[in-house]
Structure formats: structure tokens, C-alpha cells
Chains A and B, each alone.
Chain A
Amino acid sequence: MAFIPFGYSFRNLWIRRVTTLLTAGGIALVIFVFAAVLMLAYGLEKTLVGTGSDENAIVVRRGAESEFMSMIDRPSANIIKSQPEIAPDREGKPLAAAEVVVLINLPKRGSRKPSHVQIRGVSSESLAIRPQIKLKEGRLLKPGLSEAVVGAAVAKRFQGIGLGETIRFGMRDWTVVGLFEAEGSGFESEIWIDSEQLVQAFRRPVFSSVTLRLASPADFDSLKKRLESDPRMTVEVKQEKRYYSDQSEMMATFIRVLGVFVTVIFSVGAMIGAMITMYASVAARTMEIGTLRALGFSRRSILLAFLIESLFLSLLGGGPGLILASFLQTVTVSTTNFATFSELAFRFALSPAIVLESIFFALAMGLLGGFLPATRAARQNIVEAFRAA
């Protein structure tokens, strides 16, 4: 079978530049939104999954979806800390941190609207089990003082928590002495203070969670089994990574379902746009098609030529749409993490899978939009085609 050269399809698009541009523009907008929605959901997942480590396990009260809802009393915390699976630090003490998590309202920068920020009461082990935390400015907490260190993402988004400023809650003023980064993970959206100070300020006799470093990740199962069957407490042991990725599930699903549902609907609009363009393209070239047929090109190669034209058209829109969306990667957004009720900052993130999905979606639009017009072109009768012109 003789194929009509690619150049034919491509040049046709060039000749009808305005129409091509308008149609490709529609497809570009659709792909932009499609990719942006997926990037948003993926960025959220990436941030939360990156927050946890495979080597850590977190103990919360059974049934608590997040630390914010969990409570672990002191005797239980001590039992948890004495488990043999926990890795020791250099001095032989167990690498386990009993932490308190509370929410406070702070005004956002700019809008001054109050929003929830997660405060983590930490102990000296907290840093040791989270090597991703790096001090950016100032210094770390000194135990026993009303001090706070602030995550980079919170510092950027909220008012009055710069280095040297004070935050007031629990009838005390907390001085910000340091700023930390955490490789873009969820910890950057937290404020850390000494856990004993936090417990006193809020007269709260219990911890929220115990996070511990496992001597070996393989020990997780035996630790989980022992702690969860301990009759002295009702706790749940989770891999830290799992714990955080579970938090992203609901939100990410919501963004994906809503975003993709809407995008698919209005992509039909853009697809019809492509169809109109292709129909017009076929109608204007009745004579040409007749000539091609007379020259001996088969119906199938004509169908193919028009389909390729339509696919070109969709790529012409999809490519720029995707490139435009990839610029979103520099944008940080924040939203409430509904598992913890606190603000979480994250970036749009592009993955190879999203690139492929977007291109595939664009091609599908081109294929569906171009199929009927291409069929019409291929069905044309040679004699009638000449007569029509």
C-alpha cells in the first residue's frame, strides 16, 4: 500500500493557520488543566510520602487517623520506648521520640485570614530520627525554654513568626530562634517546640505519638505484633511512610476525581472544535482527495493521512499545553490537610507518568475528533469528487 507522505498532512495545517491555531489553542487549554490537576494531586502525594521514612515507625492510639486525634499516656510511651527493636543512639539510648501535636490558629501573610498550623512538641531524639531536617537560620531549641523553631514553608506563609518574633499561645510567649528546612516534606509546614514546655503550657498530660527508628526495617512486624497485643494500651503501629501517604489519599483522590471529571467533560468541547476544523479541511479539499484517489492512493491511506493531520493538530495543542503546565512546578500552593486539619504547603509536581497521560489524552482527543471527518474523506467517490469541485 502506498502511503501519502507525512508532509502532506503537516502542510495542510500550515495553510489554514488561523483555524489550526484556534483549534490547537482549545486543545492546549484542556491539556493544561488536565496536567495541572494531576500535578497538583501528585505534588500533594509526593510531599506527604516524602515526609515519612521507611526506617521509622510511628505509634498512635488505635483508631486515630492522625497524631492530632491520638493520645498516648506517659506509662504507655515509656513501654513503647523500651522495645528491643528500636535502634540505639551513640550513647545507647533508644532512638524514640514521644511527641505532642496540637493545632494553633495563626494569621496568614497577606490575607491575614487565620489558618491552622501544626505545632509539634519535640524531644532531643526527634531530630536524630529525622535526618532530613536541616537548620537554615538561627539555632536549635534549648530544652526548658519557651522557644520555637519554624519550618520554612510556614515561615513563608504566616505572619509574625520570623526569626526573633514571638508567638503567643497557651498563656505564654514563644520566641522564634530558628528556621529549618526538611527537603520539601510536610515537616516544613510545622512549628517545633520543646514537648515538655508544650505539655505544661496546655496542661495536657498525654503525648500524641511516639516515633521511633527501627534497628532494621525488617523488625517492624514483630514490633507491631507485640505492641498492638499489649493489654496495657490500645495502640496502632504504622510505618512512618505509610502513615503519611495514607493522609494524602483522600485529598489526592478528591482532586483527581473532581479535576478529571470536569476536564473530560469540557475536553469534549475542544474535541468537537477539532472535528469542525477537520470537516472543513475535508470539505475544502474534495478535489484534492479525488486527485489522490485517481493517482492510486487507497481509501485507507487517505483515511490515514487525515487521521495523521488530526493527530498532528492535537499534538500541536497538547505540547504547548503541557509545557505551560510544567512551569507550574515552581508554584507552591497550600491547602488544609483534612487528615490533620492543618495547613500543608506543597508544589505542583510533574512525573513521567503525567507527561505520558497528557500526551495520550491529547492524541485521544485528536483521534476521536478526526475519525469521522477522515472517514468521510476516505469514502468519497472519485467521480463525484471531481464533479463537486
Chain B
Amino acid sequence: MELLRLIFKNLTRHKLRSALTVLGIAVAISAFGLIRTVIGAWYSGIEASAPNRLIARNAVSLGFSLPLSYKESIRSVPGVSEVTYAHWFGGIYIDEKHSQFPQFAVGAGDWFDLFPEFLIPLDQKSAFLRERNAAVVGVKLAERFGWKIGDAIRMRGMIFQGEWDFVIRGIYRGAQKSTDETQFVFHWEYLDERLRETEPWRAGHVGWFVVKIADPSQAGAIAQEIDQRFKNSIAETLTETEKAFVLGFISMSDAILVALRIISMVVIGVILLVLSNTMAMTARERLSEYAVLKTLGFEARHLIGLITGESLLIGLLGGIVGIGATFPAARLFEDAMGEAMGAIFPAFEVAFTTQVACGLMAIGVGLAAAAFPAWRAVHIRIVEGLRRVG
């Protein structure tokens, strides 16, 4: 207890220095928290993927499509309960800057059966199904553009030529936090109808099939069976779980993720240096005091406790302030990145694990920064310490 009082007294001796150190650590910790949040947002698609969904796509690459006729063949594979399909549309709304949101031409009839986490009111769903050029949009996307039900939208096709008109008939919400609420889905038939006239060789194709399976533990065997059916055909398939499919997309930005991880390490280094500096300075100034304490009968463990305690306390204070500051920093970052980022990061939340990581890091840095000063204090000879001035 006495030790604790000494620690507090020491902490408040150089109020400005302690406050600055806490502030410095807090800022760096919130930078660390922000980076972790960005990395986490990257992986949010994985959380949103369901274990009972497989994605079958063209084995060559995502740039190639599959004939719609595969649908029945896939459905007949044992263990498959439902199949739907989607095609990447890639249209431009207003201009390139505003178009960074996913747009899919989907098998409208059963799309929402396979994605039960997209919550859409029944009346809106049936309105969507009735109209060929109807579209359903995520609530975040609708908010971003101020869309309401009944609004007419015109998009310019980049992959599929021409002007495309849609009417918004439904707005869905996500069942979970991780559900992507920025999608724009419409009838695949609407797309195909026009293709049959303009580019008949591209008609009748879909980008990928979404396959619902009854038993997730059978995913590997079912995926193999599907791929086997189309082996040595003009369009071989590659079937994998939704999670693996999403991971494939994420690994495209591997380099950026690695860079971010390195930066987060550097941030830890900066914090460590700042706190080490403060502790080294403090310990040097107090060497003669430590000698006095030793003369009074304080043992090594007391000195270690005294120094480590102070360092830990500063680290923790910085950690707490830093974690608190991560939330507004994340909001600020979201705003700074603007609308385009809404598409890349459907969910941008400071996760609990991030807060824990920040806290652990603060403690770790607090301990590490105390190591050298404590060692010095313990090893200094009393006479030497007393002789020192300043």
C-alpha cells in the first residue's frame, strides 16, 4: 500500500511530463486501434459468410462466366438443397466516384431464400418479383444516395453496354452487424433479355452459382462432385465455400494488409520509445533517491515495484485514453475516406478484441519500458548513487 502511495507521488512530481507521456501513448494507441479496425473491416466479409453456402465459378478466373444451364445439373448433386446465381454488373451511377458499390444481376426468385440475412419486408419482396427492372438495395446504400422506394435509377453499363433503368422496389436490412448493407441487386432476366439482342454470345451466362447445402460438413465432397460434373467442358467450375471465396478476394490486397501490419508494429515501437525515454529520464534523475531508499532498508523488489508500477500506470492511463479516442478516430477516418470506402468496408466497427489488444499492448509496453531503469536502480551501488548530483 505504501508502495502504491509512493508511485502516485512519483507520478505527480513531473505533472507535465507524465501528462505528455500519457497523451503520446494515447495517440499512438488510438492509431494502433485504428489500423486494427481497418484490417478487421477488410475481413468482415468472412464473418458474413455462411458455412452452408458454396460458390461455384468458372475455374479459369472470375473474368469468365458459366452457362445458366449448369443450374439444374448442380441442383441434382446429392446434398444440394437450393441453387441461385448472380452476375457482376459493374455499372456507373452518376460517375466513377459514386459507383463503388456491388451491383449484382441475380436469380431473383430464390436469391433472398439463399441469403436469409438480408431482411426484406414481404410486400417489398413481392413488388420486386413482379417487375422485371425492379431492384432491391441495402439500407446503407439507400441512405448514401437518399433513395426511396419507387425511385427510378439510371446506370451506365461498363461491362454491359448502354443505359440501364431500374426502379427501387425494396430496401433490405442486415440481420447481423457484419451483413453487407450496400448491395444493389436486380433481375438477371432483365440483363439477359438485352444481351440476347445486343451481344447474343454473352447471353445465357451467369458469373457464379450460389449453392446451398444441407450439411456443412459435406461441403468439401459436394464441391468436388460439382467440379467433377463439368470437368473437361468448355467452362470448368471451381467450387469452394463462401468463406474461401471471400478469402480469395481479400488475398488480392495482401500487400496492403502486410503493410498495415508492419505499420502497426512500428506504432508499438514508437510508444515503447516514448515511454522508455520518460522512464529513463525519471530514473536517472532519481538515482540518488534510490540510493537513499536502499539505505533505509528498501529491497530490490521494492525498487522494481516502484519503477514498474509507475511505468505500468502511465502505460495504462495512456491505453485507456487511447482506446477511448479510437472510436471518434474511426468515425473521422470513415468520413475522411468518403463514400468510396463504404463499398470496400461494409462494416467499420471498433471490435472488442481490438480494445483488448490495445489494452494488452499498453501493459506490455509499460512493463518493457521499466526494465532498464529498474535494472539500473537495483544495481547501482549506494555510495555511487549518493555521490551523484542531479
Contact = CB atoms under 8 A, between A and B. Distances in A.
Given A170-B60, A266-B266, 9 more contacts: A19-B281, A63-B161, A116-B61, A262-B35, A263-B263, A269-B271, A335-B254, A338-B252, A341-B62
A102 B276 contact: no
Given A275-B20, A279-B17, A333-B255, A33 B59 contact: no
A216 interface: no
Contacts of B281: 19, 276-277, 280
B234 A203 contact: yes
Given A19-B281, A22-B273, A171-B234, A268 B27 contact: yes
Interface string A34-48: 001100100000000
Contacts of A102: 60-61, 63-64
Interface stretch (A77-85, A138-146, A219-227, A253-261): A253-261
Classify chain B's interface size.
35 or more
Interface in A8-26: 18-19, 22-23, 25-26
B199 interface: yes
A22 B276 contact: yes
B60 A105 contact: yes
Contacts of A280: 17, 281
Contacts of A326: none
B263 A33 contact: yes
Scoring B234, B263, B270, B329 by chain A CB atoms within 10 A of each residue's CB, the highest score goes to B270
Interface in B31-82: 31-32, 34-35, 38, 59-64
A65 B256 contact: no
A255 B256 contact: yes
Contact of A335 (B17, B161, B255, B267): B255
Contacts of B255: 333-335
Given A22-B277, A272-B23, A272-B27, A336 B232 contact: no
Contact of B161 (A32, A61, A263, A277): A61
A272 B276 CA distance: 13
Contacts of B267: 266, 269
A341 B249 CA distance: 10
Interface in A272-316: 272-273, 275-277, 279-280, 284
Interface string B245-261: 00010011111100110
A217 interface: no
26 contacts: A18-B280, A33-B263, A36-B259, A37-B259, A40-B259, A71-B199, A102-B63, A103-B62, A105-B61, A116-B62, A169-B60, A234-B161, A255-B256, A257-B336, A258-B337, A265-B329, A269-B25, A269-B267, A270-B270, A270-B274, A272-B23, A273-B24, A275-B20, A276-B274, A284-B390, A341-B63
Contacts of B122: none
Classify chain A's interface size.
35 or more
A102 B269 CA distance: 44
A57 to B, nearest CB: 20
B24 A65 contact: no
Contacts of A116: 61-63, 252
Contact of B158 (A33, A63, A276, A333): A63
A178 to B, nearest CB: 23
Interface in B302-360: 329, 333, 336-337
Contact of A104 (B20, B61, B251, B277): B61
